[in-house]
Amino acid sequence: MGFFDAPELNHHEQVLFAHDEETGLKAIIAIHNTSLGPALGGCRVWNYESEDAAVRDVLRLSEGMTYKSALAGLNLGGGKSVILGRVRDIGNEAAFRAFGRMVDSLGGRYVTAEDVNTTPRMMEWVHEETEYVAGLSPELGGSGDPSPFTAWGTFVGIKSAAHKAYGSDSLEGKTVAVQGLGHVGMYLVEHLSKAGAKVVVTDIKEDRIQEMLKIKNVTSVAPDVIYDTPMDIFAPCALGSIVNDDTIDRLKCQIIAGAANNVLADYDKHGKILLERGVLYAPDYAINAGGVINVYGELEGYNEKRSYDRVNHIYEILQDIFQLSQDKQIHTMDAADTLAEERIRKIGRLKQMRRSGKHLFSKI
C-alpha cells in the first residue's frame, strides 16, 4: 500500500514533510480540510518511536481539528504539526525559526499554535518568521496561554455529561479521577475541587502531584492504578489512546470526559463498547475545544469575555451530541461526527457558492 492509499490520510488536502539541515529540524505539517477556513492546529514536539508513528499522529490530530472547529461553530479548518525529536535537542530559536519559515511557505493555509512540549517563547520565535501563528503573548497582540480556556471548557463539559447521566450537573460528592497534570489538568483539578468533587489525580511527575495535593479534597494514586480506582467520572488529560483493549474493562465509571485528544484507541470499537455498557463518553474534540475557541477570538479582535461565553456553549453542544446518540442509538463519537460533518457540508457549500458568485436563492 502506498502513502496515498493509507487509510489515515482520509481526505487530507496537503501534508508537508520538511527538513532543515542546519538545525536538524524534522517536521510534518498536515492540513486536513479548509472548507470552513484556514487550518488551525498546534505544533507538538515528540520523540516518536518511528517516522511512521509521527505521520499517523499528525494525520489523526489534524483530522480531529477539522471536526473540533466545525462542531464548535468556528470558521476554521483542521491542521496540525509535529516536530520529531527531544525538546532538549530541538527546542531552540534557530530550529523554531526554521519551522516558522515552513509554516510561512503555506501562505496562510495553516496557522500554528502552542501544543504538547512547545511554549509561548517557542511560538514567539516562530512569529519572527511568519504571521500565521496564534496563541501569542498579550504583549504581541495574542491571548496568551490557552490552557485556562481548555480546562474551563472541559469542566463545563463534565457538568454537561453529569446532567445527562445523573439528571443534575452538580458535582458535589462525585469522585473524579484526573489523569495527567499538565497546565490543563491542574486548572481542571482546581475547578472540580471548588465544585465540591472528590478528586483523585495521577501523573508521571511527582512534583505536579504534590502541588495538587495542597488543594482541598484531592488525593493521588500511581499512574497505572488510576484505571482501577473507584470513580464516578474519568477525566483523561494526558496523551491519547488510553481507553483501549487493555484498560476498558478496568474502568468502573459512569462518565468518561477529559481534555486529552483521541482518548479512544479505536473510536468505533471502543465507542460501541461504552454505549453497550451505558458509559457516557464526551467526545474529546467536543469537550476540549476551549483552547481553539479562545485562539479563534484573536483572528476577530480578541475579547476575553466573548471567548468564555463561547466556551460555555460546549455544555449545549454536548447535550445535542448526547441526545442524537440516544435518539439514533449510535455511540457519541458517531453523533459528534454527524453534527460536525453536517456543518462542514452546509457552510462549506455556502462558501463555495459565494466564491463562485452564485446565490442560494434565486427569484422565480
Distance CA 73, CA 154 (A): 17
Distance CA 60, CA 41 (A): 12
Query: What is the number of residues in the chain?
Result: 364
Residue 142 CA, distance from chain mean position: 19
Q: Which of 341, 339, 246, 240 minimizes the C-alpha distance to 284?
A: 240
What are the residues whose beta carbons fall under 8 Å from the beta carbon of 245, sequence distance 6 or more? Answer: 265
Distance CA 243, CA 33 (A): 27
What residue type is assigned to position 296 of the chain?
A: Y
Does residue 80 have an active-site annotation?
Answer: yes
Distance CA 179, CA 199 (A): 10
Distance CA 156, CA 161 (A): 9
Residue of 26, 80, 164, 174 marked catalytic? 80
CA distances (Å), 189 to each of 79, 259, 311, in order? 29, 12, 18
Query: Annotated active-site positions, please?
Result: 80
